[in-house]
Amino acid sequence: MKQYSLEFCFKGSRQYVHGTDIYNKLIATLKDEMSNEKVDLSFHGVAKTNLNLNIQKPADEKLLKFVFKFMNKEGNREVLYAVENSETIECRYEYPEEDICQLSNVDIENQKISLDQDSSYTFVENAVALNKYLLENLFPDVEGKWYFTRFQLATIPNEAIYPLRLELRANFNFKLTKTEIFIDQQSVGFIYFSLV
């Protein structure tokens, strides 16, 4: 059975594995198996330890932390499921996401945000920070915490990720928001957040 052990560090003061680190680790771990298209990462729970990635769905769905769907190099769709493995996370690193936000331009009227210059962060780190910042500016009075819940990409971007623009497409009563992601005017997919 195909299985991977994924090790992480905590971002900043967080006590859970950040979704951006999960995405980056998946792309790095599976790069030799994946094609460059149709990626779908959906989160089902918060992980506080390292994770195992399996082709088998856990019998107890409460243990499921995320599902990762992708096209392999043969053009077949693969699905992997992640559960915690109880291995303690021992490391931590700084993540001043406000640095990304300070470089961005928010357009409240048109419900969009853009980043036209290199922030030194990865594509997913930029997308998550920008989307959170956009939602906080569009809905400053809502109570709760915004969580990154899904990432659907038609293609995985290469290193050229600027200019990057996000436009809010739907808000399902804050249970789920859907934002479209553009790189240099071309749509590459969607990012979803939930207010908890």
* Mean pLDDT of the region 92-105: 95
Whether residues 126 and 70 fall in one domain: no
Of 44, 78, 93, the one marking the end of a domain is 93
Angle formed at CA 111 by CA 107 and CA 116, multiple of 5 degrees:
50
Quick: pLDDT tens for 155-196: 999 878 999 999 999 999 999 999 999 999 999 999 999 999
Give me the pLDDT at residue 113, please: 98
Beta bridge partners of 135: none
Give me the pLDDT at residue 160, please: 85
Beta bridge partners of 178: 170, 192
pLDDT band at residue 68 under the 50/70/90 scheme: very high
Whether residues 177 and 125 fall in one domain: yes
Whether residues 44 and 15 fall in one domain: yes
Q: Which residues of 64-100 are buried (b: 16+ CB within 10 A; e: fewer)?
A: bbbbbebbeeeeeeeebbbbbeeeebeeeeebebeeb
In angstroms, the Cα distances linking 73 to 65, 78, 189 are 25, 10, 20
Whether residues 106 and 183 fall in one domain: yes
- In the predicted structure, residue 2 carries a pLDDT above the cut 90: no
Residue 163: cis peptide before it, omega within 30 degrees of 0: yes
Quick: pLDDT tens for 119-150: 999 999 999 999 999 999 999 999 999 999 99
Quick: pLDDT tens for 9-65: 999 999 999 999 999 999 999 999 999 899 999 999 999 999 999 999 999 999 999
Enclosing domain of residue 59: 3-93
Whether residues 105 and 84 fall in one domain: no
Angle formed at CA 151 by CA 44 and CA 4, multiple of 5 degrees:
65
Give me the pLDDT at residue 158, please: 82
Of 77, 93, 109, the one marking the end of a domain is 93
Of 66, 93, 120, the one marking the end of a domain is 93
Give me the pLDDT at residue 1, please: 52
Whether residues 108 and 45 fall in one domain: no
* Spatial distance between the Cα atoms of 21 and 164, rounded to a whole number of angstroms: 19
Whether residues 89 and 103 fall in one domain: no
Whether residues 185 and 129 fall in one domain: yes
Whether residues 71 and 106 fall in one domain: no
Note the pTM of the prediction, 2 decimals. Answer: 0.95
